[in-house]
Amino acid sequence: MAGIGPLTQDWEPVVIRKKAPSAATKKDEKVVNAARRAGAEIESVKKSNAGTNKAASSGTTLNTRKLDEETENLAHERVPTELKKAIMQARTDKKLTQAQLAQMINEKPQIIQEYESGKAIPNQQIIGKLERALGTKLRGKK
């Protein structure tokens, strides 16, 4: 390329810097200790509800206060004694086990066990299934 004239280069200095540390790295124990050794100011703020599962307003709310002031002892209705005895009697008359009866009504054996022990919360659908499977009236007047 002779004859064009002197070539000049226009180089500008390029400065390469590391990225500024992110918030997570600023909180890293090593970084904090290095800053302490260097004499830098370190601000530490304890968040009031940090690491807890409490709501931001941990004061008692209106509903909580109502529940605390409630004196009535509330409990779920349980299977009456007459019903559990009727289920047991009808099942034994048909010579069925709890598991067999449960399979007939498409429920778990544990459900039959809970009904016969009186621990279950009465469900009209299940009682209806039991009536059909056992061929007897379990609820209402006999």
pLDDT in tens, 76-121: 788 899 999 999 999 999 999 999 999 999 999 999 999 999 999 9
Q: Which two tokens stand for residue 110?
A: 């544990």
Q: Which residues, at least 6 apart from 126, have a Cβ–Cβ distance to it below 8 Å? A: 105, 107, 111, 115
Give buried/exposed letters for 95-131 (b at 16+ CB in 10 A, else e): ebebeebbebbebeeebbebbbeeebeeeeebbebbb
Sequence ranges of the domains in the chain: 81-134
Determine the CATH number of domain 81-134. 1.10.260.40
Which pLDDT score is estimated for 10?
73
Which pLDDT score is estimated for 21?
67
Which pLDDT score is estimated for 17?
81
Which pLDDT score is estimated for 59?
56
Mean pLDDT of 34-57: 72
* HEC letters along 34-47: HHHHHCCCCCCCCC
Q: Are 114 and 120 in contact (CB under 8 A)?
A: yes
Q: Are 118 and 84 in contact (CB under 8 A)?
A: yes
Q: Is 57 a residue whose pLDDT tops 60?
A: no
In the chain, % of residues over pLDDT 70: 80
Over the chain, what is the mean pLDDT? 81
Question: Taking the model in full, what pTM does it have?
Answer: 0.49
Which pLDDT score is estimated for 74?
72
Which pLDDT score is estimated for 12?
82
Q: CA 63, 66, 67: angle at the middle one, nearest 5? A: 90
Mean pLDDT of 61-85: 79
What does the alpha-carbon distance between residue 87 and residue 123 come to, in Å, rounded to a whole number?
A: 14
